[in-house]
Amino acid sequence: MKVAPQKPPTCPAPTATADSGVPARAVKRLAKSRGKCGPHITTVTPEQAFTAAVLKEISPEGKGLPFAIDGLPAGECSAVTDGGAGLRRQARDLYWQGWKLTHIAEKLGVARATLHGWHKAERWAEASPTQRAEGVTETRYAQLVAKTEKTGSDYKEIDLLGRQMERFARISNYRQSGRERDLNPNIDARNAAAKKQPVKNFLSQEQIEQLRDAFIESCFKYQLTWWQNSHQRTRQILKSRQIGATWYFAREALIDALETGRNQIFLSASKAQAHIFKQYIQAFVFEVCQVELKGEPIILANGAQLHFLGSNARTAQGYHGNFYFDEYFWTTDFERLNKVASGMAIHKKWRKTYFSTPSSIQHAAYDLWSAKKFARKFKTDIDITHGKLAGGFTGEDKVWRHIVNILDAEAGGCDLFDLDELRLEYSDPEFENLLMCGFVDDSFSVFPLTNLQPCLVDSWEVWKDFKAFAQRPFGWQPVWVGYDPSLNGDSAGLVVLAPPETPGGPLRVLHTRQLRGLDFEAQAAEIKKICDTYNVQQLTIDQTSIGNAVYQLVVKFFPAARGINYSVESKTMLVMKALQVIKSKRLQWDAGNKELAASFMAIKREMTASGRSVTYAAGRSKDTGHSDLAWACMNALSNEALEVGTGLATPQTQSFIEVYP
């Protein structure tokens, strides 16, 4: 730095203090070597002098160091000053924004002469527009990354700035090589031969950026928590129903596959349920980019593969990649399936994500959730209470766990629920299990989950004659329909059952549906739609009290409908028949239909009001519908005689329930 013609003022000599720990010779040495000070130097503290002296000992001339000794532009009048580097960058950015040095000095409280020295030493005025843009971008990027609490807009801006720095790198490469393709990667594709076939499932970098932006912008707060912890090796998430977990993880996996090229494996209780991921992914890409992803599995242009698998352990072997295990608390033979699934992600670069609504504490997956094996091995219990896991927590077993019940989802911005209405529609136990992430102790249930698990099958793999999305899913083959009506806020259950093709054969639940908030006419209209879709041979309705109105409407278009008057005796016979077909492993339904399983699990034995008899109930009242699907299923099962499947059936065997045609 050049010195003004007039004699510069002499800098005050730094002094050493007794408690500073700075040698007096260091202070004198700095004062001697810096006999003059520029306009930006005021005082030199002993600590600054000591630092400068040490650096001089390393390199007396300051040569070979990647920075000036004082952290400022090297020159005769430089010295160590507080806040120099930060203020200098801030001043430089303001100058490049068009500020004058005088105004910058007023803004930052720095002497104008100091600014002039920085301006001249670093040649601010000579910086090209690209260099100015790079400097400002770098500063802003560092500020955002250093923030402890980041918002969704912060993540979006960080991503935008990162892409901008990538463009600067392209410009730099272009200046060195002069090749236009370094500036625009699409040049090669533009100049390719006209006959070149388009790459299957190709998405450009710009389209990938659009997908990422759309994904982050659409997330609720708790979903952003999942995104911020997507780097975790193992995640276990206990969730409420209908909070968008499957929707979210389908998009998360897609973004990861596009950006990293890693394979993604979706494992569900059934293949039908696994394909919900596929539908979400295809719809998302088409909505944002108007590109239709095709294939089974979907293979992206970068080589990443997206597999959609059911719970058949044999079909799940041989794959590798990140895997997402959906509704793992409702799968059959979980331990064997999990052994196969965890083998998919045995390499450290793969991630494992388990998420589900809770089922029973007797389910094998509960040991994984509670880290029972880890606790037994290391004598350490892991806290899995909601208070500990509501915000997400990595336990001693290095597993990140998170609980999101319906109240957490509402607090996280999910405004899709009417909690008061849901409390009317569900009984307290059902609300606690399905929406508040509470596990069920089914040890007192008539139908415990362990007995129901043999009923769970992968319908897409096993039922070759059933096409769920066809206009007539079961063709013209006969079906039985069972219906449990509703009144006001009560929920109704409807079940379509395929009768056995041979005596003693399997009884298959093809379709289930819960109806809420419908009057009698609307309920009858829904039953008529089922009659138009399937070849209904038998239709059985609970005719007790409130069900009689629905029954009277149904017989007008289906005269063969049968009504059951519920009593202690008839309910006992229904339960006995259900127990018989379940015990003989004749009843089947898709493993993804956890609502039907939960409905059966809720049925318990109770004493009648007189205390003389045992009946079966699930806490039903006019305000809370419960186990409607189970009772509807048992209504349909009543079309088969009790002894069928036991070896006692005869050709004259008929239904065991008294009906009213």
pLDDT tens digit string along 226-269?
999 999 999 999 999 999 999 999 999 999 999 999 999 999 88
State the residue range of the domain holding 466: 443-660
Q: What is the pLDDT of residue 121?
A: 87
274 and 161 in a common domain: no
Task: Give pLDDT tens digits for 316-365.
Answer: 677 899 999 999 998 888 888 888 888 888 898 999 999 999 988 888 89
pTM of the complete model: 0.61
User: Is 335 contained in some domain?
Assistant: yes
User: Is 522 contained in some domain?
Assistant: yes
The three-state secondary structure class of 273 is: helix
Q: What is the pLDDT of residue 84?
A: 59
Q: What is the pLDDT of residue 553?
A: 94
Average pLDDT over residues 121-145: 81
483 and 404 in a common domain: no
For residue 169, pLDDT beyond 50: yes
The three-state secondary structure class of 81 is: coil
Q: What is the pLDDT of residue 427?
A: 73
Q: What is the pLDDT of residue 17?
A: 46
Average pLDDT over residues 430-453: 87
For residue 25, pLDDT beyond 80: no
The three-state secondary structure class of 279 is: helix
Average pLDDT over residues 426-446: 84
635 and 607 in a common domain: yes
Q: How far is the C-alpha of 246 from the C-alpha of 232, rounded, in Å? A: 18
Task: Give pLDDT tens digits for 506-540.
Answer: 999 999 998 887 888 999 999 999 999 999 999 99
What residues contact residue 288 under an 8 Å CB cut-off, 6+ apart? 207, 210, 211, 214
Q: What is the pLDDT of residue 302?
A: 93
Q: How far is the C-alpha of 10 from the C-alpha of 142, rounded, in Å? A: 39
Q: How far is the C-alpha of 473 from the C-alpha of 508, rounded, in Å? A: 13
DSSP 8-state assignment for residue 307: E
Task: Give pLDDT tens digits for 537-585.
Answer: 999 999 887 788 899 999 999 999 999 988 888 888 999 999 999 999 9
User: Is 95 contained in some domain?
Assistant: no
Which of 33-47, 362-376, 382-396, 635-649 is predicted least confidently? 33-47
User: Is 231 contained in some domain?
Assistant: yes
421 and 453 in a common domain: no
- The phi and psi torsions of 377 (rounded to 5 degrees) equal -75, -40
408 and 459 in a common domain: no
Which of 29-43, 155-169, 229-243, 631-645 is predicted least confidently? 29-43
Q: What CATH number is attached to the domain comprising 255?
A: 3.40.50.300
Which of 28-37, 112-121, 286-295, 397-406 is predicted least confidently? 28-37
410 and 290 in a common domain: yes
405 and 347 in a common domain: yes
Average pLDDT over residues 625-634: 84
Q: What CATH number is attached to the domain comprising 539?
A: 3.30.420.240
The torsion defined by the Cα of 451, 455, 456 and 459, in degrees rounded to 10, comes to 180
520 and 656 in a common domain: yes
Q: What is the pLDDT of residue 54?
A: 45
238 and 162 in a common domain: no
88, 122, 144, 594 from 85: Cα distances, Å: 5, 12, 19, 61
Q: What is the pLDDT of residue 333?
A: 83
Q: What is the pLDDT of residue 659?
A: 55
Average pLDDT, the chain: 81
Q: What is the pLDDT of residue 39?
A: 42
User: Is 217 contained in some domain?
Assistant: no
Confidence band of 294 (pLDDT split at 50, 70, 90): very high
Average pLDDT over residues 122-146: 81
The three-state secondary structure class of 590 is: strand
Confidence band of 206 (pLDDT split at 50, 70, 90): very high
Q: What is the pLDDT of residue 619?
A: 58
Higher pLDDT among residues 309 and 443, named by residue = 309
User: Is 59 contained in some domain?
Assistant: no
Task: Give pLDDT tens digits for 446-456.
Answer: 999 889 989 99
8 Å CB contact between 482 and 636: yes
User: Is 577 contained in some domain?
Assistant: yes
Which of 151-165, 178-192, 251-265, 294-308 is predicted least confidently? 178-192
Q: What is the pLDDT of residue 68?
A: 45
Q: Which helix (H) or strand (E) holds 660?
A: strand 659-660
Higher pLDDT among residues 441 and 239, named by residue = 239
Average pLDDT over residues 181-185: 70
For residue 465, pLDDT beyond 50: yes
Number of independent structural domains in the chain: 3
What tokens were used for 459? 């319908």
Confidence band of 83 (pLDDT split at 50, 70, 90): very low
Confidence band of 58 (pLDDT split at 50, 70, 90): very low
User: Is 12 contained in some domain?
Assistant: no
Average pLDDT over residues 366-375: 88
230, 271, 459, 468 from 464: Cα distances, Å: 38, 13, 8, 11
Q: How far is the C-alpha of 359 from the C-alpha of 631, rounded, in Å? A: 20
8 Å CB contact between 629 and 514: yes
Average pLDDT over residues 129-148: 81
DSSP 8-state assignment for residue 238: E
Confidence band of 402 (pLDDT split at 50, 70, 90): very high
556 and 529 in a common domain: yes
Task: Give pLDDT tens digits for 96-115.
Answer: 888 888 888 888 888 888 88
Q: What is the pLDDT of residue 2?
A: 44
482 and 348 in a common domain: no
Q: Which helix (H) or strand (E) holds 152?
A: helix 152-177
Q: What is the pLDDT of residue 46?
A: 52
522 and 381 in a common domain: no
What tokens were used for 521? 């006419």
Higher pLDDT among residues 134 and 64, named by residue = 134
Higher pLDDT among residues 647 and 463, named by residue = 463
Q: What is the pLDDT of residue 66?
A: 41
The torsion defined by the Cα of 521, 525, 526 and 527, in degrees rounded to 10, comes to 100
Q: What would the DSSP string read from start to end of 312-348?
A: -TTTTTT--SEEEEETGGG-SSHHHHHHHHHHHT-ST
Q: What's the Rg (C-alpha) of the chain?
A: 36
For residue 418, pLDDT beyond 60: yes
Q: What is the pLDDT of residue 376?
A: 81
Q: What is the pLDDT of residue 488?
A: 55
